[in-house]
Structure 1
Amino acid sequence: MNDVDVSRQIQQMVRFIRQEAEEKANEISVSAEEEFNIEKLQLVEAEKKKIRQEYERKEKQVDVRKKIEYSMQLNASRIKVLQAQDDLVNSMREAAAKELLNVSRSHHVYKGLLKDLIVQSLLRLKEPAVLLRCREDDLSLVESVLESAAEEYAEKANVSPPEIIVDSIFLPPAPSHHNAHGPFCSGGVVLASRDGKIVCENSLDARLDVAFRKKLPEIRKRLFGEVIIA
């Protein structure tokens, strides 16, 4: 083989090696491009996911704040409604308490009421001897019905008439402008056993409290209708 043939073979080998190198380089470039695109896509998707998660987190925070704000406003509205209802009910209670003062102004009617209250208290206590406390202004009326009240009780309970001792300590007087914030009593009586262990509160104020508590659900229903808790 002469030098020309050798040179030709060498050039062919060089071209072959260069072609393979170029093909390999091209494969590496394509592969690198694909890997780059895949990695870039993964990074983009990862960033998108982070952005979506951050958006969802902030959206949830906004939603929670809205719910809290709504709940606070709703509770505030409920409190205002309940307060307005309580104010109205209390105003009715105060109006009824003022009306009680008129009961004792008609002596004839009040005298009969005092007797009935004493009889009712005696029937509840069922004691042979009792202490009775009344307002100082009512003392003469109470004393005038004691005997008939004791006899009526004895007849109803089929017992001997009890001993009724009028206490020297009186119930508070009726409310007035001079004593607007002090203790007061609109009328009626309080009876107790001799040892004071059993007490029957039969003042007009105590009876109003009992009646008001008993009728409160009905009063609220008539004023405000059925209560619906949202």
Structure 2
Amino acid sequence: MNDADVSKQIQQMVRFIRQEAEEKANEIGVSAEEEFNIEKLQLVEAEKRKIRQEYERKEKQVDVRKKIEYSMQLNASRIKVLQAQDDLVASMKESAGKEILAISQDHHFYKRLLKDLIVQGLLRLKEPALQLRCRKADRWFVESILEEAKEEYAEKANVHAPQIILDEQTYLPPEPRPDGIGSSCAGGIVLASKDGKIVCENTLDARLDVVFRQKLPEIRKLLFGKAAA
């Protein structure tokens, strides 16, 4: 085999090796591209899942915030309604308080009322000796009916008439001032045992408080319906 033949064979071998190398390279490239596409798809899907999860998380947060805000607004509305109801009830009580101020202006009626309040207090306490307090403006009325009240109590309770000392040192507050400043009393009396441990507050203000507490469910029902009673 001469040099030309040897050279020819070497060239053929080189072409063959090159062709195999190219084919192998193509296979590697195709395989690498497939693996790249698969990995890329996996990464894209993973990112999509992350985005969906993040979106769902934020959506839940928004939903929770909406529920919290709605609950807060609902509670605020309820508080406003309850406050408005309480204000109306308080206004009614205030109006009633102003109405009872007129009672002491009718002297004949007020004297009889004071006597009844004293008798009622005596029947509650059933003490042989008591202290009585009244407004300074009512002192004359109380003195004028005190004996009559004691006798009426003694007859009803079937006991001796009690000893009642009119407290001339400490009077009940006067009727309310127009400017509303200071403590006040619309009228009535306060009875206490001799040692001061047992007290019966039978003022018009105290009676109004008692009646208002007793009637409050009925008042609220009439004003605001069954749900507010």
Deviation at 1:116, TM superposition (A): 1.2
Q: Which residue of 1 aligns with 2:175?
A: 174
| One-letter amino acid of the structure 1 residue matched with residue 55 of structure 2 | Y
SS of 2:130's equivalent?
strand
Q: Which residue of 2 aligns with 1:202?
A: 202
Q: TM-score, normalised by structure 1?
A: 0.85
Deviation at 1:175, TM superposition (A): 1.4
Distance 1:188 1:113 in 2: 8
Q: Which residue of 2 aligns with 1:151?
A: 151
| One-letter amino acid of the structure 2 residue matched with residue 131 of structure 1 | Q
CA offsets 1:120-148 (integer angstroms, 9 cap, x no match): 11111111000000112211221222122
Deviation at 1:164, TM superposition (A): 0.8
Are residues 1:214 and 2:225 paired?
no
| One-letter amino acid of the structure 1 residue matched with residue 164 of structure 2 | I
Q: Which residue of 2 aligns with 1:99?
A: 99
Q: Which residue of 2 aligns with 1:56?
A: 56
Deviation at 1:77, TM superposition (A): 2.0
Distance 1:40 1:225 in 2: 68
Distance 1:23 1:153 in 2: 128
| One-letter amino acid of the structure 1 residue matched with residue 87 of structure 2 | D
> How many percent identity over aligned positions?
73
SS of 1:227's equivalent?
helix
Distance 1:64 1:26 in 2: 56
Q: Which residue of 2 aligns with 1:121?
A: 121
SS of 1:174's equivalent?
coil
Q: Which residue of 2 aligns with 1:41?
A: 41
Deviation at 1:180, TM superposition (A): 2.5
| One-letter amino acid of the structure 2 residue matched with residue 41 of structure 1 | L
Task: Choose 105-114 or 61-70, whichever is displaced more.
Answer: 61-70
| One-letter amino acid of the structure 1 residue matched with residue 116 of structure 2 | D
Are residues 1:111 and 2:111 paired?
yes
| One-letter amino acid of the structure 1 residue matched with residue 125 of structure 2 | L
Are residues 1:223 and 2:226 paired?
no
Q: TM-score, normalised by structure 2?
A: 0.86
| One-letter amino acid of the structure 1 residue matched with residue 173 of structure 2 | P
| One-letter amino acid of the structure 2 residue matched with residue 205 of structure 1 | D
| One-letter amino acid of the structure 2 residue matched with residue 185 of structure 1 | C
| One-letter amino acid of the structure 1 residue matched with residue 119 of structure 2 | V
Deviation at 1:42, TM superposition (A): 0.9
- The answer for unaligned runs of 5 or more in structure 2 is none
Distance 2:28 2:180 in 1: 102
Task: Choose 194-203 or 101-110, whichever is displaced more.
Answer: 101-110
Task: Choose 147-156 or 187-196, whichever is displaced more.
Answer: 147-156
CA offsets 1:137-169 (integer angstroms, 9 cap, x no match): 211221222122112222222221110111102
Distance 1:155 1:21 in 2: 134
- The answer for unaligned runs of 5 or more in structure 1 is none
SS of 1:104's equivalent?
helix
RMSD: 2.5
Distance 2:15 2:34 in 1: 29
Q: Which residue of 2 aligns with 1:70?
A: 70
| One-letter amino acid of the structure 2 residue matched with residue 184 of structure 1 | S
| One-letter amino acid of the structure 2 residue matched with residue 72 of structure 1 | M
